[in-house]
């Protein structure tokens, strides 16, 4: 999917044409006390390259740096996060509207990572004139004179490994307030730190910027690094924690949650910090669904009501309103908060039609069934007009969630209506697809209800929209979690469609990518999410995880940041590793991150609305080899209960241990179990599906396998 750029683009263009505004904090500061150095890893050999600061790319309408780099630092709910780019450059909004950086960075081989692997303190490491240099940038919330701000703290650490004195000036941008008076001369085998600060955000307020003296008096780099670390660790402690054999996935999962909070502006779940610094209806729904699945429900009431406003007034995409019931259903399942759901079930907001009730959004589905034989009418939901298959499955997902909500609030009439409407739309969808598949002799699920892929944008094998139903449709996996019947071509052809799509890409793109969008046809921020329907398949159950690993290995445009669409990596790059040559949309991309993290978590453990748990459905075989452990801690089940799940590979089998609050029956369903279970210490074995069924209350089982999994 692609979309019209956010309205922030026009503002950014204006900023670049206007004189640079310098905050009052540019006044010289008095020295701060000495500090310790943030440790970083080894540096790669230098290679020549050209350095460029963060700036608006007029082609992509997004702030971008050297080698298409873009990431973010900031604070939860800030008005506008800070865009960061390779080389220690960063772009500030909120009326400052300019880039900051350090002239000491002149290019060369560069590493760029998050502190501790996932914190929004980004560390750039490179060589300059014989010295090893690291630039660390982070944001912290500070309250000065009773007003709250976000301030960016920077440290330029220069290490001299030589036997001679080196002179290196950090050369900071005007507007960065120094926190010390460190010398430029670095003695042999010694280090020197240069620390700076600039206020960057006022949480949507218009009070004056703080003075340089106030910023300096608020403490040094180490104090704010510690505060930042403690804050984000506390936020992460509130959601389910994952620990898998690939530690980069652990870091991406944590980092993704943090980026989502930085992209959020108050209660506005923006898709990005730049480029897409706005709310889009289907994006907001997907972001909320993931947050509630993870257990982040602290701001749920405000965010759900904000989502109501977004789906009620969104002009570009129609599908968000159909699935508005879905995050509500996840929220109710996880928390048991019936009072809030009842209060908003049939009562719209004060603005009326632009703030629809849950009931009104569900009934909009029936009104939008204007297509042939009662399918959903034509839309632009994949950025081209057509009768898109994804729309009908999204509508079905919305009806499945709405039926669950109606049952829970005790509205039997609406529950019956939802069931009837679901059955009717599913029948129309199946009938229409069966006819299209038969008429054109197809072996796959087409992206259009009425055409073969050869007749529309999906004719291009590299256009990832061939897999749009497998992510944005939600239905094949998520509707089952809410007890809805799943049948027809959309279910029967999952494996065949994955095979078809990947076969068309073979020899053109690497394995595990679904393609991209014009004009970056390599991969997307949704790449992992396209594996979601694989959880309902036979042969592609770990596709989400495999495609997430592809993203980490090949398409980061900032530390665990991805453009909505990205081109192939260039043959040479200043950033160590494999990274795209170009990208579009927004990076980081909160909706893409939400899809990736949800499919990762669902692959490990998922909650059914009837109280049952599905464990290990998408775990790769290599993860259950002897000595490997996969775990989820603090997973939200039902009614505010939490459990922990641990899957351990043994010499000839796999052990499962559950702990925490009480839980319902468990389906232990590793892909490695299919046709390979020898015995189980508890439960009932279904050899054909590779399932061990444990009754409620059973917390441990060891499953012996006929063939031991291989690493």
Per residue in 372-411, pLDDT tens? Answer: 999 999 999 898 999 999 999 999 999 999 999 999 999 9
- Examine residue 9 and state whether it is found in any structural domain, yes or no: no
Please tell me whether residues 231 and 317 are part of one structural domain: no
The H-or-E segment that residue 135 falls in is strand 131-144
Please tell me whether residues 527 and 619 are part of one structural domain: no
pLDDT of residue 460: 98
Count Cα atoms within 13 angstroms, Cβ side, for 398: 31
Please tell me whether residues 565 and 701 are part of one structural domain: no
**Quick check: 304 pLDDT over 90?**
yes
Q: Which of 206, 236, 266 is the last residue of a domain?
A: 236
Average pLDDT over residues 433-456: 98
Please tell me whether residues 653 and 679 are part of one structural domain: yes
Band of the pLDDT at 557, cuts 50, 70, 90?
very high
Per residue in 52-84, pLDDT tens? Answer: 789 999 888 999 999 999 999 999 999 999 999
Could you tell me if 81 and 567 are in contact, meaning their C-beta atoms sit under 8 angstroms apart?
no
Farthest-apart Cα atoms in the chain, separation: 83
pLDDT of residue 209: 97
The CA distance from 671 to 686, in Å, is 13
- Examine residue 74 and state whether it is found in any structural domain, yes or no: yes
Task: Give how many domains the chain has, as a whole number.
Answer: 3
**Quick check: 38 pLDDT over 50?**
no
**Quick check: 25 pLDDT over 50?**
no
Please tell me whether residues 339 and 373 are part of one structural domain: yes
Q: Which of 607, 623, 640 is the last residue of a domain?
A: 607
pLDDT of residue 154: 98
Percent of the chain topping pLDDT 70: 92
pLDDT of residue 50: 56
Q: Which of 607, 630, 647 is the last residue of a domain?
A: 607
Could you tell me if 691 and 672 are in contact, meaning their C-beta atoms sit under 8 angstroms apart?
no
Domain range for 193 is 18-236
Per residue in 263-279, pLDDT tens? Answer: 999 999 999 999 899 99
Percent of the chain topping pLDDT 90: 87
pLDDT of residue 710: 76
The CA distance from 151 to 631, in Å, is 36
Higher pLDDT, 5 or 539: 539
Angle at 453 between CA 448 and CA 454, to 5 degrees: 135
For helices 358-367 and 338-345, angle between their N-to-C axes, nearest 10 degrees? 50
Band of the pLDDT at 317, cuts 50, 70, 90?
confident
**Tokens representing 625?**
């080899």
pLDDT of residue 537: 98
**Quick check: 198 pLDDT over 50?**
yes
pLDDT of residue 709: 78
Angle at 623 between CA 683 and CA 646, to 5 degrees: 50
Q: Give Cα separations from 46 to 89, 105, 238 (angstroms).
A: 19, 12, 41
Task: Supply the DSSP string of 604-661, one letter for each residue.
Answer: HEEE-TTS-EEESTT--GGGGSTT-EEEEEEEE-STT-EEEEEEEEETTEEEEEEEES
Per residue in 580-623, pLDDT tens? Answer: 999 999 999 999 999 999 999 999 999 999 999 999 999 999 99
Non-local CB neighbours of 150 within 8 Å, separated by 6+ positions: 74, 75, 78, 82, 139, 140, 141, 142, 199, 200, 201, 202, 203
SS3 label, residue 222: helix
**Quick check: 18 pLDDT over 70?**
no
- Examine residue 1 and state whether it is found in any structural domain, yes or no: no
Please tell me whether residues 518 and 599 are part of one structural domain: yes
Burial of 707 (0-12, 13-18, 19+ CB in 10 A): exposed
CATH of the domain at 313: 1.50.10.10
- Examine residue 3 and state whether it is found in any structural domain, yes or no: no
Please tell me whether residues 687 and 601 are part of one structural domain: no
Please tell me whether residues 377 and 466 are part of one structural domain: yes
**Quick check: 48 pLDDT over 80?**
no
Q: What counts of helices (H) and strands (E) characterise the chain?
A: 18, 28
**Tokens representing 132?**
């090893």
Write a three-state SS string for 330-382: HHHHHHCCHHHHHHHHCCCCCCHHHCCCHHHHHHHHHHCCCCHHHCCCCECCC
- Examine residue 275 and state whether it is found in any structural domain, yes or no: yes
7-21, 147-161, 171-185, 651-665: least confident range = 7-21
CATH of the domain at 637: 2.60.40.1180
- Among residues 664, 668, 642, 644, the alpha carbon closest in space to that of 655 is found at 668
- Residue 49: other Cβ atoms inside 10 A: 19
Please tell me whether residues 525 and 634 are part of one structural domain: no
The CA distance from 258 to 526, in Å, is 18
The CA distance from 683 to 460, in Å, is 48
**Tokens representing 85?**
């780019």
Band of the pLDDT at 201, cuts 50, 70, 90?
very high
Q: Give Cα separations from 459 to 3, 334, 511, 513, 520 (angstroms).
A: 20, 41, 19, 17, 16
Ordered strands of the 565-566 beta sheet: 523-524, 565-566, 583-584
Per residue in 637-658, pLDDT tens? Answer: 999 999 999 999 999 899 999 9
Please tell me whether residues 466 and 508 are part of one structural domain: yes
- Among residues 638, 635, 632, 633, the alpha carbon closest in space to that of 610 is found at 638
pLDDT of residue 162: 97
The CA distance from 518 to 641, in Å, is 44
- Examine residue 303 and state whether it is found in any structural domain, yes or no: yes
Please tell me whether residues 504 and 646 are part of one structural domain: no
CA 119 to chain centre: 15
Could you tell me if 54 and 65 are in contact, meaning their C-beta atoms sit under 8 angstroms apart?
yes
16-25, 218-227, 446-455, 472-481: least confident range = 16-25
Please tell me whether residues 55 and 92 are part of one structural domain: yes
- Examine residue 256 and state whether it is found in any structural domain, yes or no: yes
Sequence-ordered alpha helix ranges (H) in 4-102:
8-17
**Quick check: 527 pLDDT over 90?**
yes
- Examine residue 7 and state whether it is found in any structural domain, yes or no: no
For helices 338-345 and 389-409, angle between their N-to-C axes, nearest 10 degrees? 120
Q: How far apart are the first and last CA of the chain?
A: 36
How many residues comprise the chain?
A: 711
Sequence-ordered alpha helix ranges (H) in 506-632:
543-554, 590-604
Mean pLDDT computed over every residue of the chain: 92
Q: Which of 33-37, 455-459, 569-573 has the highest mean pLDDT?
A: 455-459
Phi, psi of 605 (to 5 degrees): -155, 140
């Amino acid at each position: 999917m692609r979309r019209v750029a956010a309205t922030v683009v026009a503002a950014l263009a204006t900023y670049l044409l206007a004189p640079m505004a310098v905050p009052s904090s540019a006044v010289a500061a008095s020295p701060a006390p000495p500090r310790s150095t943030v440790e970083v890893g080894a540096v790669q050999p230098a290679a020549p390259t050209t350095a460029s600061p963060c700036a608006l790319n007029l082609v992509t309408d997004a702030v971008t740096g050297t080698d298409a780099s873009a990431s973010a630092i900031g604070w939860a709910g800030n008005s506008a996060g800070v865009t960061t780019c390779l080389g220690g450059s960063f772009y500030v909004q909120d009326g400052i509207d300019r880039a900051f950086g350090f002239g000491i960075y002149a290019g060369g081989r560069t590493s760029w990572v998050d502190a501790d692997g996932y914190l929004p303190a980004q560390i750039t490491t490179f060589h300059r004139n014989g010295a090893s240099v690291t630039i660390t940038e982070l944001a912290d919330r500070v309250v000065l004179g009773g007003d709250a701000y976000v301030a960016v703290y920077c440290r330029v650490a220069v290490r001299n490994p030589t036997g001679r004195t080196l002179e290196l000036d950090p050369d900071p941008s005007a507007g960065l307030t120094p926190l010390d008076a460190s010398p430029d001369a670095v003695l042999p085998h010694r280090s020197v730190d240069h620390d700076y600060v600039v206020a960057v955000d006022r949480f949507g307020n218009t009070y004056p910027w703080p003075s340089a003296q106030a910023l300096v008096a608020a403490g040094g780099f180490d104090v704010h690094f510690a505060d930042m670390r403690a804050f984000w660790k506390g936020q992460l402690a509130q959601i389910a924690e994952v620990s898998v054999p690939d530690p980069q996935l652990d870091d991406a999962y944590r980092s993704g949650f943090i980026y989502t909070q930085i992209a959020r502006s108050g209660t506005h779940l923006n898709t990005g910090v730049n480029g897409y610094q706005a709310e889009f209806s289907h994006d907001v729904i997907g972001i909320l669904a993931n947050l509630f699945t993870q257990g982040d429900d602290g701001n749920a009431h405000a965010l759900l009501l904000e989502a109501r406003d977004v789906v009620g007034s969104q002009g570009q995409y129609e599908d968000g309103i159909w699935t508005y019931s879905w995050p509500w259903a996840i929220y109710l399942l996880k928390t048991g908060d019936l009072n809030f759901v009842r209060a908003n079930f049939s009562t719209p907001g004060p603005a009326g039609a632009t703030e629809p009730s849950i009931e009104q959004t569900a009934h909009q589905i029936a009104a939008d069934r204007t297509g042939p034989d009662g399918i959903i009418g034509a839309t632009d939901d994949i950025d081209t007009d057509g009768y898109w298959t994804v729309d009908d499955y999204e509508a079905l997902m919305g009806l499945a969630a709405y039926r669950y909500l109606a049952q829970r609030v005790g509205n039997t009439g609406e529950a019956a209506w939802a069931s009837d409407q679901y059955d009717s739309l599913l029948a129309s969808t199946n009938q229409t697809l069966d006819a299209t598949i038969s008429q054109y002799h197809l072996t796959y699920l087409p992206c259009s209800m009425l055409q073969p892929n050869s007749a529309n944008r999906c004719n291009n094998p590299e256009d990832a929209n061939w897999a749009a139903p497998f992510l944005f449709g939600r239905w094949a996996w998520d509707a089952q979690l809410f007890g809805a019947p799943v049948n027809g071509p959309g279910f029967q052809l999952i494996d065949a469609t994955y095979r078809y799509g990947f076969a068309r890409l073979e020899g053109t793109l690497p394995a595990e990518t679904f393609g991209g969008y014009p004009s970056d046809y390599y991969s997307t921020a949704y790449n992992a999410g396209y594996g979601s329907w694989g959880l309902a398949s036979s042969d592609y159950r770990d596709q989400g995880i495999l495609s997430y690993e592809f993203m980490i290995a090949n398409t980061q445009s900032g530390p665990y940041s991805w453009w909505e669409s990205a081109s192939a990596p260039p043959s040479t790059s200043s950033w160590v590793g494999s990274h795209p040559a170009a990208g579009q949309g927004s990076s980081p991309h909160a909706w893409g991150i939400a899809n990736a993290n949800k499919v990762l978590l669902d692959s490990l453990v998922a909650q059914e609305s009837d109280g049952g748990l599905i464990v290990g459905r998408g775990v790769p075989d290599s993860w259950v080899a002897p000595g490997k452990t996969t775990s989820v801690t603090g997973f939200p089940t039902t009614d505010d209960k939490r459990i922990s799940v641990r899957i351990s590979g043994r010499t000839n089998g796999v052990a499962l241990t559950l702990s925490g609050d009480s839980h319902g029956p468990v389906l232990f369903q590793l892909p490695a179990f299919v046709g390979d279970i020898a015995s189980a210490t508890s439960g009932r074995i279904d050899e054909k599906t590779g399932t061990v069924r444990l009754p409620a209350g059973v917390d441990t089982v060891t499953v012996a396998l006929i063939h031991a999994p291989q690493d």
